[in-house]
Amino acid sequence: MTQENSRPILYHCPDARSLRCLWAVEEAGIDIDLRLLKFPPRAFEPDYRAVNPLMTIPGWVEDGRLMTESAAICERIAEGTPLEVRRDEGDYWASRNWLHRSDATLTFPLAIMIRYTRVEVPERRLAQAVEDYRAFFGGRAKSIEAALADGREWLVAGRFTIADITIAYAAFLATTLGADDMLGDATKDWLARCMDREGFKRARERQKG
Ligand SMILES: N[C@@H](CCC(=O)N[C@@H](CS)C(=O)NCC(=O)O)C(=O)O
């Protein structure tokens, strides 16, 4: 699990939050060393602790430094590419806000759903928690619908950016958890546009190993 070359290393589990980073890498055309792990790493990948003591993915190692937050890693990947919303653009702060919202506000309730539908052993699964956090996600996902209500194609800056990648991952994850009915029509159309991008398709193909 050590860094053997100068390329950044991305530790990833298929369709987990690290897909944000793999998708961004594909869109930005960055050369990385992709390391696929079994989910959850804390159960199946003991050696990964030496890389990331949190045992979470993504893990991004570059120049010997570790990053562990999917949205922050996406910012790093986007830097200097059209995916980045630059400081001198009007939507800079809106973009930053979407980046933080993507994980802290939108993925958090979905993570509870994953835990109590897939990760816990059957006797510890909690249908009530799953239903409650599904509704919780639905309330929060209205913010995506509101942003797209004026018919805009992408969330900010009039082009596809890292904000679309980070937020679309949360919407995509919701669809894999049976929470797609919590997404509004404009959100579903936008998500379809995002998932139709070659970068997204390449990332999902690449994660097959
Ligand atoms: N805020 C972090 C959360 C990272 C995280 O919790 N990742 C999940 C996968 S989606 C994980 O590694 N879960 C396994 C575990 O906690 O054992 C991010 O955005 O990357």
Condensed to tens digits (0 to 9), the pLDDT of residues 86-140 reads 999 999 999 999 999 999 999 999 999 999 999 999 999 999 999 999 999 999 9
Ligand 1 lined by 18 (C-beta under 6 Å)? no
Pair 144, 73 in one domain: no
Write out the E strands in 57-151: 59-62, 65-67
Domain co-membership, 107 together with 180: yes
Per-residue pLDDT at 41: 97
Number of domains in the chain: 2
Pocket residue to mutate for ligand 1, from 10, 11, 17, most atoms within 8 A of Cβ:
17
CB of 109 closer than 6 A to ligand 1?
no
Q: Are residues 148 and 114 in the same domain?
A: yes
Q: Is residue 127 packed enough to be buried (19+ CB in 10 Å), middle (13-18) or exposed (0-12)? A: exposed
100 in the same domain as 56: no
Would you say the CB of residue 161 lies under 6 angstroms from ligand 1? no
CATH value at residue 13: 3.40.30.10
Kindly report the protein residue whose alpha carbon is nearest to atom 6 of ligand 1. 56
Which domain, by its residues, includes 147? 92-197
Q: What secondary structure does DSSP assign to 50-73, as a single string?
A: GT-TT--S-EEEETTEEE--HHHH
Please determine, for residue 2, whether its predicted confidence score (pLDDT) is greater than 80: no
Which three-class secondary structure state does DSSP give residue 121? coil
For residue 24, give both structure tokens: 């961004």
Residue 130 tokens read as 């799953």
Q: Are 60 and 10 in contact (CB under 8 A)?
A: yes
Give the residue with greater pLDDT, 4 vs 13: 13
Residue 3 pLDDT more than 70? no
Cα 177 to Cα 114: distance, rounded to the nearest angstrom: 8
Q: How confident is the model at residue 6 (pLDDT cuts 50, 70, 90)?
A: confident
Return the pLDDT at 1: 56
103 and 192 share one domain: yes
Residue 76 and residue 96 in one domain:
no
Arithmetic mean of pLDDT, 171-179: 96
The CA distance from 152 to 157, in Å, is: 10
Q: Are 168 and 190 in contact (CB under 8 A)?
A: yes
Q: Is the pLDDT of residue 4 over 80?
A: no
Contact 59, 11 (CB under 8 A): yes
108 alpha carbon – ligand 1 mean position (Å): 10
Q: Taken in order 95, 96, 97, 98, is the CA torsion positive or negative?
A: positive
Atom of ligand 1 nearest to the CA of 57: 12
What is the domain-level CATH number for residue 177? 1.20.1050.10
**CB distance 167 to 96 below 8 Å:** no
Give the Å distance between the CA of 31 and the centre of ligand 1.
23
Cβ–ligand 1 contact at 69 (below 6 Å)? yes
Same domain, 115 and 29: no
User: What is the CB neighbour count within 10 angstroms for residue 198?
Assistant: 9
Does residue 2 form part of some domain?
A: no
* Together in a domain, 166 and 118: yes
The pLDDT > 70 percentage for the chain reads 98
Same domain, 116 and 185: yes
What digits encode the pLDDT tens for the residues 63-87?
999 999 999 999 999 999 999 999 9
Q: Are residues 191 and 98 in the same domain?
A: yes
| In a domain? residue 156 | yes
For the CA atoms of 71, 171, 36, 6, what is the dihedral angle to 10 degrees?
-30
* Residue labelled with tokens 């539908």: 117
Mean local confidence (pLDDT), 23-35: 98
The Å distance, Cα 79 to ligand 1 centre, comes to 23
Which is nearest to 16 in space by CA: 106, 137, 107, 97? 107
Verify that 117 and 33 share a domain, yes or no: no
Asked, for residue 65, whether it belongs to a domain, the answer is: yes
In single-letter form, the type of residue at position 182 comes to M
pLDDT band at 186 (very low <50, low <70, confident <90, very high): very high
146-174 mean pLDDT? 98
Q: What residues form DSSP beta bridges with 192?
A: none
Q: What is the arithmetic mean of pLDDT over 47-58?
A: 98
